[in-house]
């Protein structure tokens, strides 16, 4: 299975109810070895950062076996709106 930005986006939307997912392939030659994601989900409400990251990691457990680097930013819808306003 090849990991693609679309695959990552679709899984996060389906499994953790993300309302916004931005996925960037940060590999030098876009070989799908390194990704940076922003995930916005109401399911993150009231959860500490570590728990949010674990939710994402559990969702993408199979994909992470093939990825060398994975950077994530997890936000609630309210945090996302505040960040966009800045």
Q: What is the pLDDT of residues 33-52, one digit of tens each?
A: 899 999 999 999 999 999 99
Q: 49-59 and 5-16 helices cross at what angle (nearest 10)?
A: 120
Q: Where does 11-83 show beta strands of DSSP type E?
A: 20-25, 34-40, 69-75
Q: Is the pLDDT of residue 28 over 90?
A: no
Mean pLDDT within 68-77: 96
Residue 74 pLDDT exceeds 90: yes
- Percentage above 70 pLDDT, the chain: 98
- pLDDT tens digits, residue range 52-69? 999 999 999 999 999 999
d(CA 82, CA 48): 18
Q: Which CATH number fits domain 5-79: 3.30.300.90, 3.20.20.140, 3.40.50.1860, 3.30.360.10?
A: 3.30.300.90
Give the residue extent of every domain in the chain. Answer: 5-79
pLDDT computed for residue 1 by the predictor: 58
In whole angstroms, what separates CA 31 from the centre of its chain?
A: 18
């Amino acid at each position: 299975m090849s990991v693609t930005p679309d695959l990552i986006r679709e899984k996060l939307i389906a499994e953790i109810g993300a309302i916004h997912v931005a996925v960037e392939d940060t590999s030098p030659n876009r070989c799908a070895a390194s990704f940076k994601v922003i995930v916005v989900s109401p399911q993150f409400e009231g959860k500490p950062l570590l728990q949010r990251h674990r939710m994402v990691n559990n969702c993408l457990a199979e994909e992470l076996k093939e990825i060398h680097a994975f950077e994530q930013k997890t936000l609630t819808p309210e945090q996302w709106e505040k960040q966009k306003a800045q």
